[in-house]
Structure 1
């Protein structure tokens, strides 16, 4: 099982992880997005943003623009900062595969969120999208809202920018298959425990 990288956000992720896990739930794998790979995916914003800022500064000094200077400068700053903001968000994200579900935990920007996908709600076949440099997206659900940071524009949902995505697919498939092979008496015990917690 992969470890959480030691960052100022690690303790908060560990606390959220402890709160999110259900009684008796076993963590099979945990890891974080490859923030550097995601940042490199969006580095083209630097190629646009840096010249944009230089041209804006030159235009201001030459008195070519007046009232438009502020919004143009802010747009340039946003393009330059966007990849770094994504890196910070990835440092505050934790992916989990348990014996019951897949979890995405976040403590980014002061908001603690837990997104879960039970095995039963996953697609029959998991999809891997390679993004280069040994990283990729592991999609295990579809028809999700594209407003989620873990969903692409087509509604495919899963772990974004992870290292060795084929290995994670195998782990997730094995975890789901293991649950489907669980003995009937063990399934009944799990269902009974869930009903008791709900009552």
Structure 2
């Protein structure tokens, strides 16, 4: 079973996991998103943000933009910071497969959230989308609200940027079939 990475957020994730599991429910697998893979998926913002900031600083120093400087500067900072903010959110996320359901737990930004999907609410076939760097999106439910950070633009829901997604899919399929009680990897 993959363990929770040691970060300042680990204790909160462990507490939330303990509070969320039902009596007798066994964790088959747990893991966290690959935050570095997600950060690099969004690195194009750095290709835009750093030149944007440079041009904004040049425009400010030459007094070309006057009152528009602050919003332009804030937009550049947001583009540069966005991938790092996503990394921080991933460090505050835990994926679980139990013998009954999947769980996505978050303690991000002081809000504790739990999203669960019972096996009977899952799609018949799971989908993996490779994102590079050994990570992928494991989609196991469809028709979800696109407002969730774990849902893509089409409503496919699942574990985002999970390492070794084919192995996790196999574990989930075995757990749903009742063939696996606890992972030993």
Q: TM-score, with normalisation over the residues of structure 2? A: 0.96
**If each structure's helix is expressed as a fraction of its own residues, which one has the higher value?**
1
**Equivalent position of 2:103 in the other structure:** 103
Partner Cα distance (1:58, 1:170) in 2: 53
Partner Cα distance (1:134, 1:8) in 2: 25
Name segments (4+ residues, structure 1) moved above 3 Å.
none
- Please list every run of 5 or more consecutive structure 2 residues that lacks an aligned counterpart in the other structure: 180-185
Query: How much has 1:33 moved relative to structure 2?
Result: 0.2
Superposed counterparts of 1:64-79, under 5 Å: 64-79=64-79
Partner Cα distance (1:60, 1:6) in 2: 42
Q: Deviations over 1:77-129 (max 9, x none)?
A: 00000000000000000000000000000000000000000000000000000
Partner Cα distance (2:72, 2:146) in 1: 28
> Highest CA radius of gyration, 1 or 2?
1
Partner Cα distance (2:134, 2:31) in 1: 15
Q: Which has the higher contact order (CA 8 A, sep 6+)?
A: 2
Superposed counterparts of 1:4-153, under 5 Å: 4-153=4-153
Query: How much has 1:67 moved relative to structure 2?
Result: 1.2
Q: Helix, strand or coil: the match of 1:5?
A: coil
Q: Deviations over 1:149-191 (max 9, x none)?
A: 0000000000000111000000000000117xxxxxxxxxxxx
Partner Cα distance (2:59, 2:161) in 1: 38
Q: Helix, strand or coil: the match of 2:49?
A: helix
2:156 counterpart of 1:156 = yes
Partner Cα distance (2:97, 2:13) in 1: 15
Q: Helix, strand or coil: the match of 2:153?
A: coil
Pairwise CA RMSD: 0.7
- Please list every run of 5 or more consecutive structure 1 residues that lacks an aligned counterpart in the other structure: 180-199
**Equivalent position of 1:196 in the other structure:** none
Partner Cα distance (1:68, 1:144) in 2: 40
Partner Cα distance (2:77, 2:24) in 1: 47
Query: How much has 1:63 moved relative to structure 2?
Result: 1.0
- The alignment covers a number of residue pairs equal to 179
Partner Cα distance (1:42, 1:66) in 2: 31
